[in-house]
A and B are shown apart, each in its own frame.
Chain A
Amino acid sequence: MLVVRGVEKHFGATHALTGVDLTVAAGEVHAVLGENGAGKSTLMNVLCGAFPADAGTVTLGGARYAPADPDAAFRAGVAIVHQELSLCPRLTVEENLLLGDESTRAGFLDRRRLRERAAAALARVGSTTPLDARALDLSPAAQQLVEIARALVRGEPRLLILDEPTSSLGADDAERLFALIGELSRAGIAILYVSHFLEEVKRVAQRFTVLRDGATVGTGAVAETSIDAMVTQMAGRRVEELFPRSEHPRGEPLLVVEALSGSDKPLAASLVVHRGEVLGIAGLVGAGRTELLRVVFGLDRVVSGEVRVGAWRGPRSPRDALDHGVGLLSEDRKGEGLAQGLSLAENLALSRLPSFVRGASLRATAQRWVERLGIRAGSVDAPVSELSGGNQQKVALARLLHHDVDVLLLDEPTRGIDVRSKAAIYAEIDALARAGKAIVLVSSFLPELLGVCDRVAVMCRGRLGEARPIAEWTEHAILKEAVGA
């Protein structure tokens, strides 16, 4: 049905896909596996027409398949259900189902026909949601079914892509989804099932393909492969990078988190970070690592549990946390980490401005950090948006250093930045640990965790596992705990 050969995709200098092969038969449920950043999402986006491949061929049912846009993909018979629920919240179920494909008669909406089609699609997926309910009033599971129904409403697709379909579902709803997937595949629809959760893959898929660093590294029959073997293929071996690691003796406990729960995640997370220690938190995207840091920092609501730094119990707000020496580096550099319209100097000093600000002293401070961290910038007055990603990240880190926090919560500090900036940030983390700071490092890049951290804990579905010394971990062991196996 679907044959992918040697597909490549570059974004600037980043090679997102470097040679993907994939073959899916009609009526087959085919799992696509891979770590965070292995290229799964990019591949799905190519298949559903979000952007074209740079090289390689794709055929669908024997014919060349290169959709110009998502609508063309849809017409060719390829439907996708994205990981994030993407219904329009204020529209009704019926309106959502037929968005972009409204039936008309003489230019007017054909209401009866619309209703019939919507009802038929909902019945097909076994949903009992009323057609007039608004999407925002539905549970995640009900929304998920509407999304799948939307993929079926224009007629039976030949290929249905489900990207992490269970990430917002509970166990019972997931069961119902598996039953539906079985039914659809028996009707002859090929299904691409993208998931981190290998137990699920074992249950629903017949075959699997593993991606690593943008390339296919293995394929096989699910029944004949153990979860262990799949994990090994996903982790593989990587190019070693330079992780400077000096002696930094562990001091007294500094950050203590006890049974901390947020409104959704984390769930009763406990951890202790000592002075001079780098604690790594591993886990899959959506496991709740970012949420954990945000709750600790006071950006998200604490539902129960406690955060302590010395005598301070908190946090009541980010301001409160900063005042007591706790700082957060956001994973979302563009949307949150830096105010893109403000200058480098303004961004750097934002958390620690004097009552009366003198431009000259602001610039002098910024200049000092620019030199210390080797930030490459035309001028400290230029908007921070003009810097490269790596240099922007250094500015965000410099803000925490300038604030002189004792506890650094670093969320994906090296995501999407060049190797030289990465090395500089690793060196800085090492220097901070030596200076007696406590560092929590959330990362999806396992070699980085293994190379930089003193201890690592793994998070899975909102729960934080036990933090164990780095010597007791391997990539394989981390991945295994992260996928909940």
Chain B
Amino acid sequence: MKALLAKKWFGPLVALVVVYAIFLVLRPETFGRAATLLTMSQQTVVVAIAAVGATLVIVSGGIDLSVGSSVALTSVVVAKLLVRGHGPLVAALGGCLVATLCGALGGALVARLKMLPFIVTLGSMSILRGAAKGLANEQKIDAPARGLETLLQPAAGSLRPPTGVFLAIAVAVLAALLLSSTRFGRHVFAVGSNERTARLCGVPVERVKIGVYAIAGLLAGLAGVLEFSMLTVGDPTTAVGLELEVIAAVVIGGASLSGGEGSILGAMIGAFLMTVIKTGATHMGLPNWVQEIVTGGIILVASGLDRLRRGSATS
């Protein structure tokens, strides 16, 4: 039990169960149905995949504000490639490649020029959004989805989740293994916990940082592909503010913005929790502003509780 309490994701899990239970009591006809669960998982996929990348960045002591723009740019690139007659796989890989390169470039600025991650990604947030709009001539690009749309759309009437959900789970599991069981993962924690110690111990700090931002870029790209699959158009104005939702998910999941702490499972729970609140509020007929306040409150309570817990642990 004590070991369980020490887990970063335990608190958020309790919050998720409690919130879900409340909605289950209030709206059993909605929250008791598997179809609702399915819809909610679908709606979480984009945030969840992006949150995996953001967890790596935040654990390494950084931050990535460019996620939303990167998703939009990817959706445009995918649409463009499809319009030109490329296959769905080429289009998806092309989109991911662009996003990965953008991430790696930002990582290089952070690692080599020692620029602040907040500033670098604030810049790339604006640059990528602009690039997406320019590339799309400030319009939505209609494209033949050629099967990509099935990634996030279940077969009608079936309760089998769409491929995208499994994709998100696979990404999360792989990333969790990467963080916990590889040298690279330990190095990410070490850099975030104390960069000077990491350097002293021969950790290639710069390479770790560039790697982390490149992976975050790749996953933002993957999220962008799924965004395209949901919209079936390339939309340069989509996913505005997504980065904040993603960061919220990671923080609710027990990560510390000062680095060295965080968990993939926690971030996944955080992302799902926010979807549950959204869905619940909608089904209760509560206006949008109520769900925004509740989400904000949960962020504050989550990090406040964490602070208290750590305060009592050290004193």
A contact residues vs B (CB 8 Å cutoff): 299, 317-319, 321-323, 328, 330, 332, 335-342, 346-347, 350-351, 353-359, 385, 399
Contact = CB atoms under 8 A, between A and B. Distances in A.
Given A342-B193, A350-B190, 11 more contacts: A319-B204, A336-B194, A336-B200, A339-B193, A339-B260, A346-B189, A350-B186, A350-B198, A350-B201, A351-B201, A357-B183
A149 to B, nearest CB: 33
Nearest to A399: B201
B202 A341 contact: no
Contacts of B187: 353
Contacts of B198: 339, 350
Nearest to A321: B202
Contact of A318 (B181, B182, B190, B201): B201
10 contacts: A323-B202, A339-B190, A340-B194, A341-B193, A341-B194, A342-B190, A342-B194, A350-B198, A356-B183, A358-B181
B203 interface: yes
B246 to A, nearest CB: 23
A347 B260 CA distance: 13
Nearest to B177: A356
Given A342-B189, A357-B186, A336 B181 contact: no
List the 3 closest pairs (A to B, CB-CB), nearest first: A351-B201, A319-B202, A339-B194
Nearest to B203: A350
A339 B182 CA distance: 18
B260 A341 contact: yes
Interface centre among A319, A342, A351, A354 (most CB of B within 10 A): A342
Nearest to B183: A353
A328 B190 CA distance: 17
A319 B193 CA distance: 19
A336 B186 CA distance: 17
Listed residue (A350, A357, A359) with the most chain B CB atoms within 10 angstroms of its CB: A350
B111 to A, nearest CB: 14
A330 B194 contact: no
A350 B180 CA distance: 13
A317 B202 contact: yes
A37 to B, nearest CB: 24
Contacts of A347: 197
A338 B197 contact: yes
B217 interface: no
B260 A357 contact: no
B27 interface: no
A321 B199 CA distance: 12
A389 to B, nearest CB: 15
Nearest to A340: B194
Contact of B183 (A323, A332, A355): A355
B183 A328 contact: no
B261 interface: yes
Contacts of B183: 353-357
Contacts of B196: 332, 335-336
B200 A330 contact: yes
B260 A318 contact: no
B185 interface: yes
A462 to B, nearest CB: 23
Interface string B287-315: 00000000000000000000000000010
Nearest to B199: A318
A332 B196 CA distance: 10
Contacts of B201: 318, 322, 350-351, 399
Contacts of B194: 335-336, 338-342
A4 B252 CA distance: 55
Nearest to B196: A336
Given A317-B202, A357-B181, A339 B197 contact: yes
A356 to B, nearest CB: 6
Contacts of A323: 202
Interface in B185-231: 185-187, 189-190, 193-194, 196-204
B178 to A, nearest CB: 10
A370 B199 CA distance: 24
Nearest to B258: A341
B202 A357 contact: no
A307 to B, nearest CB: 16
B182 A357 contact: yes
B96 to A, nearest CB: 25
A318 B202 contact: yes
B260 A342 contact: yes
Question: Which one of B199, B204, B314 has the highest number of Cβ atoms from chain A below 10 Å of its Cβ?
Answer: B199
A445 B81 CA distance: 70
Contacts of A357: 180-183, 185-186
Contacts of B193: 339-342
A381 to B, nearest CB: 9
A319 B205 CA distance: 10
A353 B261 CA distance: 19
Contacts of A322: 201-202
Contacts of A358: 181
A327 B197 CA distance: 13
A339 B202 CA distance: 13
A337 B197 contact: yes
